[in-house]
């Protein structure tokens, strides 16, 4: 999934929005490190006798070898293909038979697998994950048919979706040198070349306990979970994992624009993104000010963008902004708007430009900053109530360079943001040469 597309999904909005109040920690996790290097994080939540168990690996699409795009996502699929003790298909059947649900996902920076089960079934799924961490069996008989599954997934998700096609092209044009320009699912012509040897090499390189974090949230006690982890994951041997060396973005000299016209498009849309610092790339402490800026500019229906375009001018059905700072490399800050039926993209773009220009000229106000910080902090209640939210937010943070203490101090950091810092963040971000504009339009009929 591209960084631009991630910005629009609720999970990544949660990463940037769901935080703790200024006088409390967020999730109060307990952390251990096993002898083999595996990090274990436990979040107690005794609201129901269930548990979410997640395994995160520090490897994603941006760590792939040039010309092998899609191998990280492909291996995510192949991790369900069995071990000597858990044959093909048995993993999912065991989870289902024990009343659980499971899934997995791959991004540019990490790969994660998760199950939600009754608390008394936790050690079962821990054992299953520990087994496939070290003992995955891959042969042509299981690898090649799954490659066809991935190709079909790409056709459905990308080729048949104009917005996804535009996002893919926009990523490739926006990032000049960063591996974030490559699609996580992979380019079709490169997916077709991936084989068993590629999958085995990637697996043996990156899948190790010392390159993983296990996060467990639910009706458990930390010491009991630690004992389970030692009985399961503790048996997996560590091995050397290469450093994650990423090419960096060069200086940019010109704005870019990508336009896609398609007969499948019914409603046009417009967006602009700017290169932005992240937690992993030059972000501290600027990311906190940028999060407040995003809330002021387009974080809600009372934001400047929505209020101006949708309410006052009535030219858009929606308008907003997003910023996902949990990344290893430079990320993006996105603003978007959808014109009302029959509306004009140029009119929407001009209105957005005026809102941004006014913000740069006059700055944000003390009242806006105070309200934005309060809105961000108030949303913490939702984060604590959902059993799956904590491991997802913590996992993303740990995978992209933050430690637990830094993450738990988020409320304090956001509370320290000043008007001057937000205005400085705006001046840093809104540089035309570091921007890309994307337009999705209906194809004119002949």
Tell me which residues are annotated as active site. 76
9 vs 7: CA distance, rounded Å: 6
Q: What is the 3-state secondary structure (H, E, C) of 147-177?
A: HHHHHHHHHHHHHCCHHHHHHHHHHHHHCCC
Q: How far is CA 19 from CA 15, 24, 48, 285, 291, in A?
A: 8, 10, 22, 16, 11
159 vs 165: CA distance, rounded Å: 6
Q: How far is CA 397 from CA 21, 146, 213, 401, 402, in A?
A: 18, 31, 11, 7, 5
Pairing of strands 316-323, 111-118: unpaired
Helix ranges restricted to H, 272-344: 286-298, 304-306
Question: In 3D, which of 369, 378, 405, 392 has the Cα closest to residue 290?
Answer: 369
Pairing of strands 331-339, 269-276: antiparallel
- Residue 23: strand, helix, or coil: coil
170 vs 164: CA distance, rounded Å: 10
Residues in contact with 430: Cβ distance below 8 Å, sequence separation at least 6, in sequence order: 274, 356, 360
């Amino acid at each position: 999934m591209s960084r631009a597309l991630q910005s629009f999904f609720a999970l990544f909005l949660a990463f940037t929005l769901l935080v703790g109040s200024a006088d409390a920690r967020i999730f109060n996790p307990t952390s251990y490190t096993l002898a083999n290097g595996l990090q274990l994080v436990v979040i107690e939540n005794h609201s129901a006798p269930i548990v979410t168990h997640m395994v995160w690996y520090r490897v994603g699409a941006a760590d792939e070898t040039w010309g092998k795009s899609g191998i990280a996502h492909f291996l995510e699929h192949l991790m369900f293909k069995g071990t000597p003790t858990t044959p093909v298909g048995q993993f999912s059947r065991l989870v289902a038979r024990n009343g659980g649900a499971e899934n997995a996902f791959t991004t540019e920076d990490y790969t994660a697998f998760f199950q939600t089960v009754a608390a008394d079934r936790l050690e079962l799924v821990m054992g299953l994950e520990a087994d496939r961490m070290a003992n995955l069996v891959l042969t042509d008989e299981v690898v090649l048919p799954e490659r066809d599954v991935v190709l079909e997934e790409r056709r459905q998700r990308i080729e048949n979706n104009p917005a996804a096609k535009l996002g893919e092209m926009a990523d490739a044009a926006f990032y000049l040198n960063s591996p974030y320009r490559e699609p996580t699912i992979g380019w079709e012509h490169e997916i077709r070349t991936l084989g068993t040897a590629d999958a085995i090499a990637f697996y043996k390189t990156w899948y190790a306990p010392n390159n993983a974090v296990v996060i467990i949230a639910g009706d458990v006690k930390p010491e009991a979970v630690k004992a389970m982890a030692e009985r399961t994951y503790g048996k997996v041997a560590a091995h050397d994992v290469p450093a994650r060396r990423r090419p960096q973005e060069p200086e940019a000299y010109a704005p870019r624009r990508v336009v896609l016209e398609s007969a499948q498009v019914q409603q046009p849309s417009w967006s602009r993104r700017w290169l932005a610092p992240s937690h992993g790339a030059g972000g501290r402490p600027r990311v906190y000010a940028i999060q407040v800026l995003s809330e002021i500019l387009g974080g809600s229906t009372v934001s400047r963008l929505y209020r101006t375009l949708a309410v006052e001018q009535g030219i858009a059905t929606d308008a907003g902004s997003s910023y996902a700072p949990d990344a290893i490399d430079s990320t993006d800050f996105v603003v978007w708007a959808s014109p009302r039926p029959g509306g004009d993209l140029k009119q929407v773009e001009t209105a957005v430009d005026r809102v941004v220009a006014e913000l740069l000229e006059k700055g944000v106000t003390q009242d806006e900053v105070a309200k934005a910080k309060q809105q961000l902090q108030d949303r913490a209640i939702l984060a604590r109530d959902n059993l799956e939210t904590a491991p997802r937010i913590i996992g993303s943070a740990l995978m992209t360079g933050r430690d637990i203490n830094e993450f738990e101090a988020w409320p304090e950091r956001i509370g320290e943001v000043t008007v001057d810092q937000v205005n400085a963040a705006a001046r840093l971000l809104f540089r035309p040469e570091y921007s890309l504009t994307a337009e999705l339009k209906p194809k004119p009929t002949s």
